[in-house]
Amino acid sequence: MEFNLPNALTWARILMIPLVLAVFYLPLDVLSLHHQNMLACVLFCVAAITDWFDGYLARRLGLTSAFGAFLDPVADKLMVCASLVLLVGLDRCNAVLAFVIVGRELTISALREWMAHIGAAKSVAVSFIGKLKTTAQMVAIPMLLFYDDLYGLPIKFIGNWLLIVAAILTVWSMIYYMRRAFAEMRIK
């Protein structure tokens, strides 16, 4: 395992996941619900920013590594899945939407593993639709963590609609990757 700044940021993102979850287990006399919402949202946003930043630094500084390429998507999936489970538990997220998103993440991770095993990893490399799906998730989840109106904007309403969009993009991207994988398997 190579230890460098981008990998350290990825590890920091993984370590932030329990912090986001723990915020909601603090007693309300320690941190009000509004402050819990705000802190969880900020922590999630910081983690999401490190996701962009670690990739940027790895490419810019020439510090890309096989380990970093493995760990980065694992950190993303852990962050999204843990947050969705938390949001379902807080009754802020539809369980079916969360299942669709988590199920897709597991399915595509397994598919990528299989495609790498048969030497066809490039056929299921991250696509534009996958990036769009991730963006929708990374905007919807902090909105659902924040959950309060902000300057008259109904954040929870917007977050719920964005999560529906994310779920649609999730299914679309899964179909896209599955078709590419099956086409590759027919060739082999």
Tokens at 7, concatenated: 């990998």
Q: How far apart are CA 116 and CA 158, in angstroms?
A: 37
DSSP secondary structure string, 129-149? HHHHHHHHHHHHHHHHHH-S-
How do the pLDDT tens digits run along the chain, 188 residues long? 678 888 899 999 999 999 999 999 999 999 999 999 999 999 999 999 998 888 888 889 888 888 888 888 889 999 999 999 999 999 999 999 999 999 999 999 888 888 888 887 787 778 888 889 999 999 999 999 999 999 999 999 999 999 999 999 999 999 998 998 888 777 65
What is the pTM assigned to this prediction? 0.90
For 67-96, b where at least 16 C-beta lie within 10 A, e where not — what string?
ebeebbbebbbebbbbbbebbbebebbbee
> In the chain, where are the structural domains located?
5-187
What is the topology classification, in CATH, of domain 5-187? Four Helix Bundle (Hemerythrin (Met), subunit A) (1.20.120)
For 155-187, b where at least 16 C-beta lie within 10 A, e where not — what string?
bbeebbebbebbbebbeebbebbeebbeebeee
Count the Cβ atoms, other than its own, within 10 Å of residue 122: 10
